[in-house]
């Protein structure tokens, strides 16, 4: 059965107690709007060793996408048990050796934050199954759909979408507090849930990879999400107001988001390695593609994470992705367990291959 919010948090606490030499419970600095304390786990062997590059995985952002929390809890539990017993991991047709498992925990910091939006998940599981946002009532009447912010539109990337995007763009974001799906909030990082994610990226400045686990569409998305990619004109970028009013139209030439070719090649390569490993489990074919190919967005976690080093050169470059697992938000539990194995295999391969694919 799917975990409720108490069970998700208890799983993290219990893992930290069961494997104290392999993981650390992280207290996030802010509670949710309804006062729920949030936790993450940092996984690493040799906890007193020197600094390492870090991968940050988050889930449970959109309330109705129940299985994202379970995927990350299972991922952490599988890694910890396999390392502690000196065994490998087998997910259907995909096998990882004990040496591969050891290399992950001895070579990387892996941070998992399975439940970013506890209030929304609780509401989805007890009141309205298809609820997506958090439960902040502050910006409108606080009744019905006029509650909550879409956490994955609340990051600081092209937040002023009305200025940045073309009126012809079907950008999936709203400034209406009563929008039932994609209300962005009054300003970037207005919500404690997004501030907790930003804190993790700041707290672990050697974060080189970021994955936000969502559903659904069976995709592994990489940047950018605001427009098609191009690697020829660096002046055509999200910080240049000369291109305001032109972003987000598919197939035109007025605007395409700049990404250096090395970064684009690296993003595409690592996304494909994820999908190849996932397919090996039981034959499911996920598609590796830019996020814009799903639909245009603003204020998302992956675009924000990758954009940080462009906005502030003192910050490290983070290669950022979004997983869209499955073909429905709340599949039957028997199928969800299989999906979790698919995605866990993909994430392990992602971690194994990531250091060899990144660009500085």
Read off the pLDDT band of 46 (50, 70, 90): confident
Mean pLDDT of 198-214: 98
- Answer yes or no: is pLDDT of 212 > 80: yes
Domain that holds residue 296: 5-357
CB 135 within 8 Å of CB 62: no
Average pLDDT, the chain: 97
The per-residue pLDDT for 75 is 98
- Answer yes or no: is pLDDT of 360 > 70: no
The closest of 85, 305, 325 to 204, measured between CA atoms, is: 305
The closest of 128, 105, 136, 134 to 43, measured between CA atoms, is: 105
Read off the pLDDT band of 49 (50, 70, 90): confident
| Residue 333 CB contacts under 8 Å (≥ 6 apart), including other chains | 1, 2
- 16: which DSSP letter? H
The number of domains in the chain is 1
Q: What is the pLDDT of residues 238-270, one digit of tens each?
A: 999 999 999 999 999 999 999 999 999 999 999
The per-residue pLDDT for 359 is 66
CATH code of residue 94:
3.40.630.10
Q: What is the pLDDT of residues 268-287, one digit of tens each?
A: 999 999 999 999 999 999 99
User: Model-level pTM?
Assistant: 0.98
* Cis preceding linkage at 224, omega within 30: yes
CA 301, CA 297: separation in Å to the nearest integer? 10
| Residue 308 CB contacts under 8 Å (≥ 6 apart), including other chains | 201, 315, 318
Least confident piece of the model among 45-49, 232-236, 300-304, 335-339: 45-49
């Amino acid at each position: 059965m799917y975990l409720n919010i108490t069970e998700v948090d208890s799983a993290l606490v219990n893992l930290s107690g069961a494997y104290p030499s392999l993981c650390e419970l992280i207290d996030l600095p802010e509670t949710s709007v309804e006062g729920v304390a949030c936790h993450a786990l940092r996984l690493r062997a040799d906890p007193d060793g020197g600094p390492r590059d870090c991968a940050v995985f988050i889930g449970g952002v959109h309330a109705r996408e129940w299985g994202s929390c379970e995927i990350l809890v299972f991922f952490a539990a599988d890694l910890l048990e396999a390392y502690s017993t000196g065994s490998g991991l087998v997910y259907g047709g995909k096998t990882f050796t004990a040496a591969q498992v050891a290399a992950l925990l001895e070579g990387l910091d892996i941070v998992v934050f399975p439940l970013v939006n506890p209030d929304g998940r609780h509401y989805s599981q007890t009141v309205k199954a298809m609820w997506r946002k958090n439960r902040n009532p502050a910006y409108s009447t606080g009744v019905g759909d006029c509650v909550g912010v879409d956490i994955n539109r609340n990051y600081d990337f092209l937040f002023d979408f009305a200025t940045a995007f073309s009126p012809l763009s079907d950008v999936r974001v709203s400034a209406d507090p009563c929008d039932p799906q994609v209300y962005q909030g009054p300003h970037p990082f207005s919500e404690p849930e997004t501030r907790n994610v930003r804190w993790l990226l700041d707290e672990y400045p050697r974060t080189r990879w970021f994955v936000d686990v969502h559903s659904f569409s069976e995709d592994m998305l990489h940047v950018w999400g605001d427009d098609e990619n191009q690697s020829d004109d660096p002046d055509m970028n999200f910080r240049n107001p000369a291109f305001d009013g032109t972003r987000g139209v598919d197939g035109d030439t007025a605007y395409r988001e700049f990404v250096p070719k090395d970064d684009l090649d690296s993003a595409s390569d690592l996304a494909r390695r994820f999908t190849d490993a996932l397919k090996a489990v039981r034959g499911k074919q996920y598609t590796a593609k830019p996020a814009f190919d799903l639909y245009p967005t603003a204020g998302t976690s992956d675009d924000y994470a990758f954009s940080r080093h462009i906005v502030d050169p003192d910050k490290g470059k983070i290669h950022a992705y979004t997983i869209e697992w499955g073909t429905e938000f709340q599949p039957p539990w028997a199928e969800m367990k299989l999906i979790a194995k698919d995605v866990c295999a993909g994430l392990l391969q992602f971690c194994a291959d990531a250091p060899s694919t990144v660009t500085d």
